[in-house]
Amino acid sequence: MVEGMMYFMNYDYRIKLKEKLISELSIAKVLFDKKMIDEEEFKRVSERVSKDPQYSDYVEKASDIAWTQLALIIEAEIEEHGAYKNRRIIFNPTDKYGNIFCDLVLLSKNNIHAIKIVSMECDFVEPAESKEMMNIGYKVVDKFLSQTSSDTIDLTVVQPNLLISTGCRVKIDSLLDKFDNRLLQ
């Protein structure tokens, strides 16, 4: 019985490691594509990821798909909200305890967009119904609301293994009310 539990715990840990590698590599590709890091930094990250024991062709392909989807999301944000003047792209933001809570935040004066790469989940993740995405939204609002005048937050899940990205727009007041009600229960 204990052996079986250890196998599943180890298996889950390996899945999380692959997910982390896919996220790291796809973010490095986006940073390089948007000329936010130089070629040497990109090679350094790519080399570090490729030397990890969990690295595989799957990690490479999934990171390519996630990178393409992230690039499209960023381009759509530029079209919808204008050029990137006064806009920030925050990769791997951390909460007050230093824990990374999502992969990417796009922040401007009138918009907040949080993006999470979920590369090993086999089921379709609907951001509006996902407790994890609502929690991410809450943390993003908590950390970045003072830097924007937006009354909504866009939440997007990139699932490269399913070749999809899904998103939703949530009113910040509604999101905060959900968390207030949850705390009172």
Read off the pLDDT of residues 7-18 as tens digits, 9 standing for 90 and up.
Answer: 444 556 677 788
C-alpha span between 52 and 21 (Å, rounded): 8
**pLDDT tens, residue order, the chain (185 aa):** 445 544 444 556 677 788 899 999 999 999 899 888 899 999 999 999 999 999 999 999 999 999 999 999 988 887 877 655 556 888 899 988 999 999 999 988 888 999 999 987 778 889 989 899 999 999 999 999 999 889 999 999 999 989 899 999 999 999 988 877 765 55
Read off the pLDDT of residues 123-164 as tens digits, 9 standing for 90 and up.
Answer: 888 998 989 999 999 999 999 999 988 999 999 999 998 989
Query: What tokens were used for 90?
Result: 């925050």
Domain ranges of the chain: 2-184
Compute CA distances 35 → 5, 28, 72, 82, 146, whole Å.
Answer: 45, 10, 15, 18, 28
* pTM of the shown model: 0.85
State which H helix or E strand residue 157 sits in: strand 152-159
Query: CB-based burial of residue 84 (10 Å sphere; 0-12 exposed, 13-18 middle, 19+ buried)?
Result: middle
